[in-house]
């Protein structure tokens, strides 16, 4: 992992990156009538009927809440967050999940990251707004921040924000992973990055 620049901050996705997720998006789409080729959140946002929109949001929230109750930590999650903390690198989470579900997942899995932004705070990924807000708060240039996620939207959000895009594929190659700057199979592979940062400090 030879990066030409010094990493000064790291932002994580939540579902599929720090914790396991078993959300059945096909079922959710079926229940709210969302076509496969349309982003779920955009579909709900553009519903003209407020009653239908409210019902769709409630269905999504119920699925997310149930998923949060059963979420388990991804392999190596605790160890890598401890390594980052020891390297004195600021961390945050940016997720398309709801605030309630995100809080539950963070609490139940003892994730030692306090700064969590959800779709209720800023436009959902792949929009870069949440990532850029964190960069501004940290007063760190986006090119010195790495964003780690497990889906296309995560890579796109990092690219849109001018950050380093790190894709975790859990050992299963994706046809869009070439869009990322770094591809890892598990969180432990980030360790050399923080060891290097500690040596530079």
User: 171: phi > 0 → left, psi -120 to 50 → alpha, else beta; which?
Assistant: left
Residue 102 in tokens:
């995100």
The pLDDT of residue 93: 98
Q: What gap in Å lies between CA 163 and CA 100, rounded to an integer?
A: 27
d(CA 139, CA 166): 21
From the CA atom positions of the chain, what is the Rg in Å?
A: 17
Based on the number of CB atoms within 10 Å of its own CB, is 5 exposed (0-12), middle (13-18) or buried (19 or more)?
Answer: exposed
Phi, psi (degrees; rounded to nearest 5) at 88: 60, 40
73 CA to centre of own chain: 14
**Per-residue pLDDT at 25:** 87
Residue/partner pairs of 53-56 with CB below 8 Å, 24 or more apart: 56/32
Q: How many angstroms from the chain centroid is the CA of residue 85?
A: 18
Q: Is the dihedral of CA 90, 142, 132, 105 positive or negative?
A: negative
Integer CA distances (angstroms), 44 to 25, 134, 201, in order? 14, 26, 46
pLDDT at 115: 96
SS3 114: coil
Residue of 104, 137, 96 lying closest to 120 (CA atoms): 96
Q: pLDDT 10s digit of each residue in the chain, 201 long?
A: 455 568 999 999 999 999 998 888 899 999 999 999 898 999 999 999 999 999 998 999 898 888 888 899 999 999 999 999 999 999 999 999 999 999 999 999 999 999 999 999 999 999 999 999 999 999 999 999 999 999 999 999 999 999 999 999 999 999 999 999 999 999 999 988 776 655 555
Task: Round to whole Å and give the CA distance between 149 and 194.
Answer: 17
């Amino acid at each position: 992992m030879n990066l030409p620049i010094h990493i000064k901050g790291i932002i994580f996705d939540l579902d599929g990156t720090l914790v396991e997720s078993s959300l059945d998006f096909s079922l959710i789409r079926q229940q709210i009538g969302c076509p496969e080729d349309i982003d779920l959140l955009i579909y709900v946002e553009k519903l003209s009927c407020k009653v239908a929109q409210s019902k769709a949001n409630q269905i999504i929230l119920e699925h997310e809440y149930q998923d949060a109750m059963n979420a388990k930590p991804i392999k190596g999650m605790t160890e890598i967050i401890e390594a980052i903390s020891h390297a004195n690198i600021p961390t945050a989470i940016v997720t398309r999940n709801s605030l309630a579900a995100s809080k539950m997942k963070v609490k139940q899995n003892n994730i030692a990251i306090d700064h969590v932004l959800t779709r209720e705070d800023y436009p959902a990924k792949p929009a870069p707004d949440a990532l850029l807000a964190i960069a501004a708060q940290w007063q760190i240039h986006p090119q010195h921040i790495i964003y780690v996620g497990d889906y296309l939207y995560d890579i796109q959000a990092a690219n849109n924000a001018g950050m380093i895009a790190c894709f975790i594929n859990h050992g299963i190659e994706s046809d869009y992973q070439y869009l990322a700057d770094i591809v890892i199979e598990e969180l432990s592979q980030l360790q050399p990055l923080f060891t290097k940062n500690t040596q530079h400090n």
